[in-house]
Every structure is written in structure tokens, then in C-alpha cells.
Amino acid sequence: MATNSKPKPSFFKVLIAKFTTQLRLPPLFMLKFGEKLHENVTLTINNGESWNVRLEQDGGHHYFTQGWVKFVKDLDLKMGSFLVFWLVGNSTIKVSAYGISGCEMEFPDGESQTDSDEPVEVPLRRSARNAKGKQPVYTVKKEAWTICDHKPESSAETTNPQPESSAETKNPRFNFVLKGYQGSRLSIGKAFATETGLVYKRAVVLEDTQGRYWPVALDKAKTTWFRLDMTTGWSEFRKENRLDYGDTCLLEFIPTKNVIRATVIKTKN
């Protein structure tokens, strides 16, 4: 009789400022599984390559430190990259990396990344044949093809607010008045989500007016109508930036930084 295997513990991280030297692990993940982890951890990626990193505690938080810099450099990770970590053993963590395009990064089998080589984006529907020894490339798994190889939908009318036009900026913008049901998740307007490419991504980075970065997960509903929500991370951003019900929030996509700048406009009492 077939049995369902228990899902492996996992967490995700969107790489934001200062990620190149160390990476902080989620406190809740460490609270649940920290005792199982060794101080020396092996990170493995989809081609079988692995990196040894050290897990250290500082100020009540746990970080990947020694060895993390090389991992970031070898994979050519950028700000806005999305990583998913699966705990597969006391000293082994499997990592899936997604580029800022939203597509999973894959590398040639059996070859280590070199300092001089950089990943290149392979056009969709083109054969990504990698001769042994060549640099890693971005490719798309069959499952993700419908996400990455997707023509933007027309900006038909939806029940969500649409981005406002502005003579001051050509960047896509989207504003809304926070409602009571938007405390833990926020639905994004279809036109804004399509123009900025959010429909292809699993997470996004918000930048507040103080220059702080907030990784937020995205959830695209499997429905016949369009719905894309900001979920994990949205509530924390809202509370820390004192975005209260009735306040207005302006979201502006900044292409040069691959972030969404969020400006809170308080309601006058």
C-alpha cells in the first residue's frame, strides 16, 4: 500500500540588502527545527553541486556565514532572487533558486561554477543545450513553462483598482485605500501585476520610504478570473509602516532596483 511521505520542512527567502555576506534564517523555522541542524551545513542545488556553509547564532538570530559568500558568488545571485530551502537531513539543505525573471535557475550537471562565468537568460522555446564545461544558464522546467512562457494578458476591466496615470513618472503605479479585509493579504490590480511581471513571480520586495526592504510572498489564485495576492510578509510591512484601515498606499515599481516602492498616505482625522 502506498503511503504519503511527510513534507520536508522548508522556508523561503527573498534576497534583499546585505544578503551577500550572510543570510538570516527565519526564527520560527529555527524554533521548530534548529535543534536538528548541525553547525556545518551542506547546501545542494538541482545539479548535485554542493557548498559547505556554517550556521552561527548572533543576537538571538541564526545566520549562514562562512561559505555563504562563495555560494552567492558561484550562483551569481542578485537582489530580488528567490530561494526555497528544504531540510533533507541534519546537515543537508536542498536549495532551489529563482532569478528575478521568476524562472528557476538550473546549471549543467557535474560542473562547478567559476568566478568569471555568469548565467545567461535562455529565450523560451529554444533548446538550452549546454556543452559540458559551459557556464550555467537560466532554464525553465516543464512545470514552470506556463508561468514563464506566458504572454501578458490584456488589461481588461477587473474589480481591482487600476494603476493611476502620472505625468511625473513612467513607472507603473497602483494605489488603494486599505480595507478591513486587507490586513493579512492584499489583492493586486491586474494591469499593474501584468505590466510589472508580478504574475510570473512567487515573491516581491517592497521598499518603504525609510529605505527598508520587505520581502513579501505572492499567491496567484487558480481560478477562471484573475487574482494575485501579497501574502506572507504583507502584514508585517503594514504594521511596521503604520498602514491603517482607511489610509492610502501608493505602490510604484522601480525597474532599476527591481523593487516596489510603497508610500503610505495617512488619512486626515
If asked whether residues 142 and 204 sit together in one domain, one would say no
123 located within any domain = yes
223 located within any domain = yes
162 located within any domain = no
* pLDDT tens for the 269 residues of the chain, in order: 455 556 788 888 888 878 999 999 988 889 888 888 899 999 999 888 999 999 999 888 999 999 999 999 999 888 888 898 999 888 899 998 887 766 777 776 654 443 444 444 333 333 333 444 443 333 333 332 223 333 333 333 333 444 444 445 689 999 999 999 999 999 999 999 999 888 888 888 899 999 888 888 888 888 888 999 999 889 999 999 999 999 999 999 988 888 899 999 998 76
| Long-range contacts (CB closer than 8 Å, 24 or more residues apart) made by 202-205 | 202/12, 202/82, 202/98, 202/102, 203/12, 203/14, 203/82, 203/233, 204/14, 204/230, 204/259, 204/260, 205/14, 205/16, 205/79, 205/80, 205/258, 205/259, 205/260
Task: Give me the sheet containing 120-121, strands edge to edge.
Answer: 105-106, 137-138, 120-121
If asked whether residues 185 and 116 sit together in one domain, one would say no
Look up cell 555563504; give the residue: 68
If asked whether residues 66 and 24 sit together in one domain, one would say yes
Find the CATH number of the domain harbouring 202.
2.40.330.10
155 located within any domain = no
If asked whether residues 51 and 124 sit together in one domain, one would say yes
Amino acid at residue number 34: G
If asked whether residues 63 and 112 sit together in one domain, one would say yes
Pick the last residue of a domain from 148, 181, 201: 148
Domain count, the chain: 2
If asked whether residues 18 and 137 sit together in one domain, one would say yes
191 located within any domain = yes
If asked whether residues 31 and 142 sit together in one domain, one would say yes
